[in-house]
Amino acid sequence: MKPSYQKYVPFPGVPMTKRLWPTRTITHAPAWCSVDLRDGNQALVQPMNLAEKLEMFHLLVEVGFKEIEVGFPSASETEYEIIRTLIEGGHIPDDVTIQVLVQAREHLIRKTFEAIRGAKNVIIHLYNSTSTLQRKVVFKKDMDGIIDIAVQGARLIRTLAAEVDQGTHIRYEYSPESFSGTEPENAVAICTRVMEELGAAPENKIILNLPHTVECCMPNIYADEIEYFITHLPHRENAIISLHPHNDRGTGVAAAELGLLAGAERVEGSLFGNGERTGNLDIVTVALNMFTQGIDPELDFSNIRHVREVYERCTKMEVHPRHPYAGDLVFTAFSGSHQDAINKGEAYMRETNSPYWEVPYLPLDPADVGRAYEPIIRINSQSGKGGAAFVMQSVYGYELPKAMHPDFGHIVKQACDEAGTELLPQAVLDLFNRYYVNISTPYALKKYRFAHCEDGAAPHVRFEGVLVRDGAELPLDAVGNGAVDAFFKAVEAAGVTGYTFLSYSEQAVAKGSDSMALSYIALRAPDGSTVYGVGLDSDITIASIRGILSAINRVAGGQR
Ligand SMILES: CC(=O)SCCNC(=O)CCNC(=O)[C@H](O)C(C)(C)COP(=O)(O)OP(=O)(O)OC[C@H]1O[C@@H](n2cnc3c(N)ncnc32)[C@H](O)[C@@H]1OP(=O)(O)O
Ligand SMILES: CC(C)C(=O)C(=O)O
């Protein structure tokens, strides 16, 4: 790639010495305009058909958009028919304004006015490209020539708007397309002329949409351009300043956010950023970014799965697994330290009832976008002991004692390394069962009984039974202050020696319709190490006995 970088010209800065936007914060939602059905649609391999456009339109209404660019009605019969269907089919709620895009060309403008007949609220969106590059390469005109295209278009629009039925409320929008590639003073000049032509006034504000048609500079430069425009525009009070970022450098969201700081009041974009090339601005991300700053975005993404499902079906595009807020993996932690911190954060939230979201590594509560049911913690070779314990607890209700976490974590880590892939919860449970639960080799408890005795002395329990190893029977018979103690002594008396009882905890778990007891046992093994065993049975005493035997068997069977 060496020398070819020299053919790129660095983007010019904006002549500003003082700028206000870096000192500001975003405090409220802008007016949003969805361009999914137009800019998004025009960039699809297979543009949406009528049914898909209608479904998408209804989704956008459901999400809360009040301004929706529904198409470019003069582009084709299909586009025209879709707009007629929206209007004639009564699909447009009274509080929603449809927007239609048109180039500054007479026959296209006339066709556009035909298309909007009978609509209640319409924004006629006029555009022509104004950038230095387009002037030179496409239009071969100077700036006056470009202004003339816009003025002629605006004049015709005003004339035709005056003839439209009284029941149709028309507003105007003008885009100096490729605004960010236009000299700032030229952008102001052309917009000023269009405002005059369209009779912009405080009670009849024009939307001046300032597109980052191709994102060719850093977002701070776009913000400078917006602030320059706003502070140099005569009669700024007659205009609503709108942003239309694209995402060629991958910073469309940043450009929109900095553009808002620079004073814009309206934002055009699309769901998940669908649009030309790398896409339009992703409105979902900007809106949810606001949400995470304690600002009501005035769009409803509380069921993001549904929004995504309709979007993917209608556009045949896929949302990337790492897409902010909506991707499959964005609320998932595989790595141990993240899992640990998330676990602790969730415990902190439960224990303190904190009114604020204070969970490390998760900037948004998944429940706020309807994703609370998904596994946050998933297991692979990067996971730690807390992750495996979390899966056992959250999926199966097994409350592993904290001291046992490293032991089980080690087993899970080894299995992940061997598998070289993620372990699903069932595989984690299988490992737990295989390594700890009711292990019955080499020692198997063949038969047993215990009796509670109260014969004058302190109450005690007698355990009798038979342990089998390699076909040989070892009789068990001992007395203890409880069944577990009696069993432990009986095993020792039968020659299985060198174990010390360290700790024990129990819990009930639901197994189908039955409730079972789980007993976690820790013993000191003959070599001084700690060994864990788990017993599972409908009877808590038997569960404990099975747990002890499991621990012994893990040592005796060399299964550690
Ligand atoms: C940045 C954006 O996303 S803008 C929106 C872009 N969207 C679309 O283009 C989708 C819909 N477009 C279409 O269906 C077609 O392009 C139409 C119907 C608008 C126009 O079609 P056509 O006139 O057949 O062809 P085409 O688009 O190639 O037109 C190019 C001509 O329009 C001129 N032109 C382009 N934009 C404008 C404009 N805003 N104002 C006036 N003339 C323009 C070009 O200079 C060129 O002129 P030339 O033929 O004299 O060289
Ligand atoms: C027509 C304008 C708003 C546009 O789509 C763009 O510049 O990207």
Alpha helix (H) ranges present in 264-384?
A: 283-291, 304-315, 336-352
Tell me the CATH number at 397: 1.10.1220
Tell me the CATH number at 551: 3.30.160.270
The amino acid present at 393, given as its one-letter code, is: Q
Task: Look at residue 16 and tell me if it is in a domain.
Answer: no
Tell me the CATH number at 292: 3.20.20.70
Nearest CA to ligand 1 atom 39: 128
Task: Look at residue 493 and tell me if it is in a domain.
Answer: yes
Same domain, 137 and 282: yes
Residue among 99, 127, 182 to mutate when testing ligand 2 (max atoms within 8 A of CB): 127
Q: Classify burial at 157, counting beta carbons within 10 Å of its beta carbon; exposed 0-12, middle 13-18, buried 19 or more.
A: buried
Domain boundary among 434, 459, 476: 434
Which of 411, 423, 415, 373 lies closest to 394, judged by CA?
Answer: 373
Compute, in angstroms, the gap from residue 202 CA to the centroid of ligand 2.
Answer: 25
The amino acid present at 164, given as its one-letter code, is: V
Task: Look at residue 1 and tell me if it is in a domain.
Answer: no
Compute, in angstroms, the gap from residue 213 CA to the centroid of ligand 2.
Answer: 6
Dist. CA 109–CA 328, nearest whole Å: 43
Q: Classify burial at 296, counting beta carbons within 10 Å of its beta carbon; exposed 0-12, middle 13-18, buried 19 or more.
A: exposed
Compute, in angstroms, the gap from residue 104 CA to the centroid of ligand 1.
Answer: 9
Instruction: Please tell me the predicted confidence (pLDDT) of residue 374.
Output: 86
Same domain, 86 and 229: yes
Give the nearest ligand 2 atom to 209 CA.
3
Ligand nearest to the CA of 135: 1
Task: Look at residue 14 and tell me if it is in a domain.
Answer: no
The parent domain of residue 402 ranges over 384-434
Instruction: Please tell me the predicted confidence (pLDDT) of residue 512.
Output: 74
Ligand nearest to the CA of 180: 2
Same domain, 201 and 52: yes
In Å, how far from its chain's centre is CA 181? 33
Task: Look at residue 215 and tell me if it is in a domain.
Answer: yes
Ligand nearest to the CA of 43: 1
- Ligand 2 first shell, C-beta below 6 A: 39, 101, 127, 175, 177, 209, 211, 213, 244, 246
Instruction: Please tell me the predicted confidence (pLDDT) of residue 305.
Output: 97
Reading the chain (560 residues) residue by residue, the pLDDT tens digits are 668 999 999 999 998 989 999 999 999 999 999 999 999 999 999 999 999 999 999 999 999 999 999 999 999 999 999 999 999 999 999 999 999 999 999 999 999 999 999 999 999 999 999 999 999 999 999 999 999 999 999 999 999 999 999 999 999 999 999 999 999 999 999 999 999 999 999 999 999 999 999 999 999 999 999 999 999 999 999 999 999 999 999 999 999 999 999 999 999 999 999 999 999 999 999 999 999 999 999 999 999 999 999 999 999 999 999 999 999 999 999 999 999 999 999 999 999 999 999 999 999 999 999 998 888 999 999 999 999 999 999 999 999 999 999 999 999 999 999 999 999 999 999 999 999 999 999 999 999 999 998 877 777 999 999 999 999 999 999 999 999 999 999 999 999 999 999 999 999 998 777 899 999 999 999 999 999 999 999 999 999 999 999 999 999 999 87
Same domain, 51 and 187: yes
User: Beta strands of 238-310 (E only): which ranges?
Assistant: 239-245, 266-269
Q: Structure tokens of 406?
A: 């490293």
Task: Look at residue 5 and tell me if it is in a domain.
Answer: no
Same domain, 464 and 410: no
Q: Structure tokens of 106?
A: 């007479």
C-alpha dihedral, 156 to 162 to 167 to 169, nearest 10°: 60
Same domain, 418 and 361: no
- Which value, in Å, is the radius of gyration of the alpha carbons in the chain? 35
User: Beta strands of 17-155 (E only): which ranges?
Assistant: 31-34, 67-71, 97-103, 121-129
Contacts 24+ apart (CB under 8 A), 491-496: 491/467, 491/548, 491/549, 491/552, 494/467, 496/443, 496/467, 496/552, 496/556
Q: Structure tokens of 276?
A: 């030309």
Q: What is the pTM of this model?
A: 0.90
Nearest CA to ligand 2 atom 8: 213
Give the nearest ligand 1 atom to 129 CA.
39
Same domain, 407 and 304: no
Same domain, 282 and 339: no
Dist. CA 493–CA 478, nearest whole Å: 8
Tell me the CATH number at 359: 1.10.287.1400
Contacts 24+ apart (CB under 8 A), 309-313: 310/55, 310/56, 310/59, 311/56, 311/59, 311/271, 311/272, 311/274, 313/52, 313/55
Ligand 1 within 6 A of 550 CB?
no
Instruction: Please tell me the predicted confidence (pLDDT) of residue 453.
Output: 86
Task: Look at residue 279 and tell me if it is in a domain.
Answer: yes
ipTM: 0.94
Instruction: Please tell me the predicted confidence (pLDDT) of residue 544.
Output: 97
Same domain, 142 and 230: yes
Instruction: Please tell me the predicted confidence (pLDDT) of residue 559.
Output: 80
Same domain, 154 and 293: yes
Would strands 121-129 and 97-103 be described as parallel, antiparallel, or unpaired?
parallel
Same domain, 423 and 448: no
| Domain total in the chain | 4
Q: Classify burial at 85, counting beta carbons within 10 Å of its beta carbon; exposed 0-12, middle 13-18, buried 19 or more.
A: middle
Task: Look at residue 479 and tell me if it is in a domain.
Answer: yes
DSSP-derived 3-state class of residue 509? strand
Same domain, 293 and 245: yes
